[in-house]
Amino acid sequence: MSSAGADLLHLLAIRWVTLIHVALLYMLGMSAGSALLFIILNFYCLLLTLFWHGVTRIIKRCPLILQIDLIISGISIWLTGGTWQSPYFLYAFTSLLITAFFFHVSGGVLAAGHFSVLYTIGLVVNGHTVSGIVADKNLDTLISNYFAFFLTAIFFGYPAYIISKVEEVQRDLAQAEELLHETKGLLAATVNPTPLSCRELEILACLSKGKTSPQIAEELHISGKTVKNHLYRIYKKLGVSSRKEAILYFSSKLNSINRRNG
């Protein structure tokens, strides 16, 4: 499971908790809006959870798709009062968290701005005016809501950015280790001459990393038929009959050079 996918699942788990909160309101006989809306949101969340892998790929390819999620959250609030008293107010925050996770502070702030507009429209649609909110002594709560949108995006977006950088460094280190492994193999072959050509040694190094013929062809920018021909010559030169035996040969060469250098 990819890191992004795993973290998306964790965020969706938080969203499920907000829906459980709405379910509890229903169980306690409190006002929680239309049951149809609750069912639709549960079905929508279920689809996101079941197809998290595909959703992750879509979000990375088309960031604007998250606007749909924000709009769904905004509409949910519109249909249930349009204020912080909506049972789906906490649900809406999960949209901001998901956006901030994928696109960090800048994306999270943009999402917060977008959601602030949707939230304001919801207030207007439901007949809430500034004067009415002031009369009800809720102006401080309203202002706090807008600040909460942006602070949530910033406080979650920055750690997400740091995590992405750490993962990037880890990927670079893994690639460097692979390159070092391949280089050591080529050096070993140079120190201990073999009947294999440089290209054949490259292919043998790829085999030792468990790569398939199509993957080797893609990495070395050659055709699959060329890889097949190289493999045939490698087996013939080494006197082996399978990939496993060829890999064992390569590993033994690496081990011998490592023992001498150790």
Q: What is the pLDDT of residue 94?
A: 92
What CATH number is attached to the domain comprising 235? 1.10.10.10
Q: Chain centroid to CA 13: how far?
A: 15
Q: Sorting pLDDT into bands at 50, 70 and 90, what band is 79?
A: very high
- Choosing from 152, 167, 182, the residue where a domain stops is 167
Are residue 240 and residue 203 in the same domain, yes or no? yes
Are residue 113 and residue 234 in the same domain, yes or no? no
* Residue 86 DSSP one-character state: S
* CB-CB neighbours of 170 under 10 Å: 11
Are residue 89 and residue 214 in the same domain, yes or no? no
User: Which residues touch 153 (CB under 8 Å, ≥6 apart)?
Assistant: 96, 99, 100, 105, 108, 109, 111, 112
Are residue 149 and residue 37 in the same domain, yes or no? yes
Are residue 115 and residue 55 in the same domain, yes or no? yes
Give a yes or no: residue 173 inside a domain. Answer: no
Cα–Cα dist 132/141, whole Å = 13
Strands (E), 140-245: none
Tens-place pLDDT, residues 209-254? 888 888 888 888 888 888 888 888 888 888 888 888 887 877 776 6
Give a yes or no: residue 37 inside a domain. Answer: yes
What global pTM score does this model have?
0.62
Residue 23 reports pLDDT greater than 90: yes
Cα–Cα dist 75/118, whole Å = 8
Are residue 12 and residue 110 in the same domain, yes or no? yes
Residue 258 reports pLDDT greater than 70: no
Which residue range(s) make up the domain with 247?
192-261
Give a yes or no: residue 201 inside a domain. Answer: yes
Are residue 25 and residue 128 in the same domain, yes or no? yes
Are residue 199 and residue 241 in the same domain, yes or no? yes
Q: What is the pLDDT of residue 255?
A: 65
Tens-place pLDDT, residues 141-173? 999 999 999 999 999 888 888 888 887 887 777
User: Which residues touch 123 (CB under 8 Å, ≥6 apart)?
Assistant: 82, 83
% of the chain beyond a pLDDT of 90: 31
- Choosing from 133, 167, 201, the residue where a domain stops is 167
Are residue 141 and residue 213 in the same domain, yes or no? no
Residue 77 reports pLDDT greater than 90: yes
Per-residue tokens: 144: 């706090």
Cα–Cα dist 86/80, whole Å = 5
Give a yes or no: residue 180 inside a domain. Answer: no
Give a yes or no: residue 20 inside a domain. Answer: yes
Structurally, the chain folds into a number of domains equal to 2
Give a yes or no: residue 182 inside a domain. Answer: no
Tens-place pLDDT, residues 28-45? 988 888 899 999 999 999
Are residue 197 and residue 104 in the same domain, yes or no? no
Are residue 212 and residue 162 in the same domain, yes or no? no
Are residue 95 and residue 162 in the same domain, yes or no? yes
Residue 262 reports pLDDT greater than 80: no
Q: Which of 23, 32, 114, 127 is CA-nearest to residue 73?
A: 114
How far is CA 204 from each of CA 185, 189, 198, rounded to the nearest angstrom?
Answer: 9, 11, 10
Give a yes or no: residue 131 inside a domain. Answer: yes
For 131, the enclosing helix (H) or strand (E) is helix 130-135
Give a yes or no: residue 232 inside a domain. Answer: yes
